[in-house]
Amino acid sequence: MKLEHFALNVEDPVGMAAWYVAHLGLRIVRQMTEAPFTTFLADDSGKIMVEIYLNPAHQVPPYRTMDPLLVHLAFVAENPSEDQERLCAAGATLVTDQHLEDGSHLIMLRDPWGLALQLCKRGKPMLTRFDW
C-alpha cells in the first residue's frame, strides 16, 4: 500500500493553502471554494498529499499549544538554515534547531497558524526517490 494523504482540520484552509504553495512549493490538486474548503496539496513528487479543511462540527486541534512532536509536517530541506530564515520572514516561528550526532540537521518551526513544520536534512537519507 502507498500513502496517499494525511488530513488536518485547520482554522484557515484557504489561507494556509496559499501560504504552503507560496513558501513550501506545494501545489493545489483539488480545492473546494465553499465550506469546508477541503484542499489537497501535493508535494513536488506528485505522490503524497496533505488534505486541509475546516470542519466546524469537530474541534480544530490547538496546534499553537501542542507539543510539535505530537503532530508535525516534515519537509526535506537541502539547506534548513536558509529555509528557516525564508519561512520566518514569511510568518513562521522558530521552535528548535538541532544538529544530531548522525549529521542530521532538524529545524522545527510553526507556520502562521501554529501547525508544527520540521525541516529535515538527514545525515543519511531515509527515503530515496523511486517510481511507484
- Its domain, for residue 30, covers 1-55
| One pLDDT digit (tens) per residue for the chain, 132 residues | 888 999 999 999 999 999 999 999 999 999 999 999 999 999 998 889 999 999 988 999 999 999 999 999 999 999 999 999 999 999 999 999 999 999 999 999 999 999 999 999 999 988 775 554
User: How is residue 77 written as a grid cell?
Assistant: 530541506
Longest dimension (CA), the chain: 47
Per-residue pLDDT of 90-106, as tens digits, reads 999 999 999 999 999 99
Q: State the DSSP string of 81-125.
A: HHHHHHHHHTT-EEEEEEE-TTS-EEEEEE-TTS-EEEEEE-SS-
Residue 36, preceding peptide bond in cis (omega within 30° of 0): yes
Q: What CATH number does residue 122 fall under?
A: 3.10.180.10
User: How is residue 92 written as a grid cell?
Assistant: 513562521
| Beta-ladder partners of 37 | none
Rounded-to-integer distance, Cα 128 and Cα 132, Å: 12
Is residue 73 located within the same domain as residue 123?
Answer: yes
Q: Is 60 within a domain? A: no
Q: What is the pLDDT of residue 129?
A: 58
Domains contained in the chain, number: 2
Q: Model's pTM, two decimal places? A: 0.92
Is residue 95 located within the same domain as residue 50?
Answer: no
Cα dihedral sign, 24-26-28-31: negative
